[in-house]
Structure 1
């Protein structure tokens, strides 16, 4: 028992010496060693194949001056510091503080931690915190990426890098990144954005302020207002996920999708883009603006889907639920819609209604054709009904199974062709614009010709049943066809359409049963 106590006491006495050995810089080898006394301090000058050690840190160089009192080393020529076989730093010269365990490297400095290689002219490295710092510019290399900046702070354990001033990242595949500050992890290859940043990848460019980007997988997740510019499109949102290899983008919050080729802008609360399929979906107060030469077509719906097939140049837009359209010479409502942007044809489905100047058209489905951005033709199918108001506030009416409507350059009625179960009421005026009566006609097939929204001529393909009625014999039933309904109060205006787009979303509270 007494023997064990003696051993323990000797161990306690040796602890300070062991700690001193770990903290003191020791000479391992040198070709020559000269000792001198400088102001009560012992200074050793070592020349040729100098090797020093402090704990797990090895320092080698061509020449060194070791001050044993201050525990400092001045190293010159092919300086190399290896810390625990994990970090290697080389340079032309160095100052090493053994008490603080800090190295100050100068001249052609290179740091290698088996993850990246850092090249600079000056580098400070702390053996305790494993932190490398430079302020004179550096280049960082890994297998696929090159990073440069004026200032940098690198933790060789966590692999976290903070770059400052003129940060540039490039890879072997042509990708690039530009920023004033950037956080980067050399192990995960993820860049974290803390200021305005530009990311370039082949034909795609992304602008952002916050979020992260994986330089290896090319996947981005931006949490601040960001913009992705692709070859033909631009996608902007409050938060944006973008996978460059698959060309899939998911956007949330104030989404804006711009097609430069078609001059089409889609906006909404949320959106999704697939560059390979050419499909873009925008929903939540969705709005399309088709910017034309002298006009703009506005279209809003619960959901808008754009389709662009580059192989056959097919460009289409689909709208679903609560569809509204406004243009200076027409407006419309329906529940679903298809817009062929290449051929300028719009197909309306599910209770469509279209207003053009002083006319109103309804049917089971309607196809609208435009030429040079002007309304030229409209095809109504199933329960077709056309109403036009003339200058005397009379309502000319045409109905049939199929109705083809043609417009002049002012988007006014020019001709109406009726096929199947045709009926019409049109008012007759003399040269003094005095109404002399109305014609009520039933004919399965007929063509009506208009001028200033007044019927000027009518041709019957089959035998008609016609009746002329003077004003004194008119009554309410005589002046309207079955199914007549003038819905001018529902007409879409620019103001009404924008109020729908900007309306707050309605949330229905969930009431639990008691």
Structure 2
């Protein structure tokens, strides 16, 4: 009895188990075959139009290799009707379609030659998730997006939201727009605004240039891109590094909007924070105190610079500085022009030249300052209203020329030179330098040297030609030849005045010590008169062409900009009256 009961109970369990198996077998036969491990099931994301810095969102990873499919009956997808709404994403083609009834029944799983369409944009891939109700899709393997007939986007994985028209392409990304190619690891593409964003490094290549940066935006239809952080533009002729750069892919113009440095074949270096550079013709406009440096040691700085590298021509405006490190020289002004090919340049509008030397510094102003170079030597010219200051040497003239060949400064047009208490005048002058120090000054035609003795008396020396010699930056000797005349006031040992001595001679040599006349040498055949202090004739106290222009003398480096016209060299009534009033 007990055995029968046990057998009946066992039979019931077996029947129940068979019934359950039959039920699940029927249920399985009614559902499409789907293996969840074949494709990842990514979470849905809502892509937003980013600003320059893109928001970080979780994106599922695409598997490197999809496992082989288990043989199953082919299920042909039902294609959507002919598209009428340009805002909807339509499935154009797929070899198989399946559903995940258990986990996400709204997702269409597509395989094999998958194609989508939205408006005039087509998307291709090996497999995809299609969220038809959400008007979006996730594509995997050999992904391609084609927009019109000019824009192509390639990658390994795509997440696309048809409502916002935002696409995230991942891995081995390539955007091709005619002859412009953008490559990156991850690209966010806004179809509505037709702009692509990358934040993990990217590169754009066109026919001429290669541009790379950490962050970038590319506008295919507007033909320009914006690069930020570690920007590098490589051209066959130069390399440009910048913090921020805007580049026009049609014109080849790079707009500099951040600190940038351009090195042109290791010969020219440009520093700029603002401006533009045309990579097609090597012309540029640089702003905000930009600097152009050449290999020969010359530098051009200005608020605004127009520079043509091919022609070797640069123009600078406002607060400009032209520097020549080989000559320790700087030119300042408000307009400057340089021609690298001809080794020529000039500065005008408040022009100033500063020559730096270990012992002293020369400051010189003129209406226009020129610098140029022959085959070997540097030269400089100054035109009109020239004034200069150095502690041991000051002067003014109408024009000036300096040549490094012979280290001579030529002064023309009523030149006047001062050193210590001596004033030199004449029709022309030559200032000769040796080892960067003033060696001697040669005065030609109507040469004249004057020194103030007291408030009414002046030591004077004149002739056809005069030489003023310097030692250790001090005037120590004057030599005059050709109709030499002199007036000087000798002193006793107790510094009392002996009188006024006048001489006429073939030449006169006057030695200076402690800024005073120490002794005088004359030719043997000389004439002279010594007048006692109380019998000095007032009309004989000055030589012909005497003029005292102490008020014209530059007092410091800032006093070189105001030019004062000298009076005519003659025995003026001003001197006659002043000197005549002494009479003793």
TM-score under structure 2 length normalisation:
0.78
- CA distance change for structure 1 residues 18 and 92 in 2, over 3 Å: closer, same or farther? closer
Aligned 1:223-372 pairs, distance under 5 A: 223-231=287-295, 232-309=297-374, 311-312=375-376, 314-341=377-404, 343-372=406-435
What's 2:559 paired with?
A: 497
Could you tell me which runs of 5 or more consecutive residues in structure 2 were left unpaired when the two chains were aligned: 1-80, 564-584
Q: Does 1:146 align with 2:210?
A: yes
| Residues 288 and 298, structure 1, Cα contact 8 Å, conserved in 2 | yes
Residues in 1 aligned to 2:133 and 2:104: alpha-carbon distance in whole angstroms: 9
Bigger CA radius of gyration? 2
Could you tell which deviates more after superposition, 120-129 or 297-306?
A: 120-129
Query: Which residue, out of 161, 173, 182, partners 1:97?
Result: 161
Query: Which residue, out of 240, 248, 261, partners 1:185?
Result: 248
Query: Which residue, out of 261, 276, 279, partners 1:212?
Result: 276
Aligned length: 480
CA apart distance, 1:49? 2.5
Could you give the per-residue CA deviations for residues 331-371 of structure 1, whole angstroms, max 9, x where no partner exists?
A: 10111111224543211110110001010000111111122
- CA distance change for structure 1 residues 40 and 408 in 2, over 3 Å: closer, same or farther? closer
Residues in 1 aligned to 2:255 and 2:408: alpha-carbon distance in whole angstroms: 46
**Secondary structure of the equivalent of 1:497?**
helix
Residues in 1 aligned to 2:147 and 2:102: alpha-carbon distance in whole angstroms: 30
Residues in 2 aligned to 1:234 and 1:219: alpha-carbon distance in whole angstroms: 17
What's 2:285 paired with?
A: 221
Could you tell which deviates more after superposition, 358-367 or 335-344?
A: 335-344
What's 2:31 paired with?
A: none
Residues in 2 aligned to 1:165 and 1:342: alpha-carbon distance in whole angstroms: 49
Q: Does 1:54 align with 2:127?
A: no
Q: Does 1:458 align with 2:518?
A: no
| Residues 339 and 347, structure 1, Cα contact 8 Å, conserved in 2 | yes
| Residues 446 and 545, structure 2, Cα contact 8 Å, conserved in 1 | no
Structure with greater proportional strand content: 1
| Residues 359 and 386, structure 1, Cα contact 8 Å, conserved in 2 | yes
What's 1:504 paired with?
A: none
Aligned 1:64-75 pairs, distance under 5 A: 64-75=128-139
Query: Which residue, out of 457, 475, 493, partners 1:412?
Result: 475
Residues in 2 aligned to 1:345 and 1:126: alpha-carbon distance in whole angstroms: 69
What's 1:373 paired with?
A: 436
CA apart distance, 1:400? 1.4
Could you tell me which runs of 5 or more consecutive residues in structure 1 were left unpaired when the two chains were aligned: 1-16, 502-514
| Residues 307 and 315, structure 2, Cα contact 8 Å, conserved in 1 | yes
Residues in 1 aligned to 2:197 and 2:188: alpha-carbon distance in whole angstroms: 5
Residues in 1 aligned to 2:546 and 2:467: alpha-carbon distance in whole angstroms: 18
| Residues 299 and 324, structure 1, Cα contact 8 Å, conserved in 2 | yes
What's 1:425 paired with?
A: 487
Could you give the per-residue CA deviations for residues 178-203 of structure 1, whole angstroms, max 9, x where no partner exists?
A: 22222111111111122222222122
Query: Which residue, out of 528, 531, 544, partners 1:469?
Result: 531
CA apart distance, 1:31? 3.3
| Residues 411 and 428, structure 2, Cα contact 8 Å, conserved in 1 | yes
Aligned residues: CA RMSD: 2.3
CA apart distance, 1:84? 0.8
Residues in 2 aligned to 1:96 and 1:67: alpha-carbon distance in whole angstroms: 10
CA apart distance, 1:39? 8.5
Q: Does 1:443 align with 2:508?
A: no
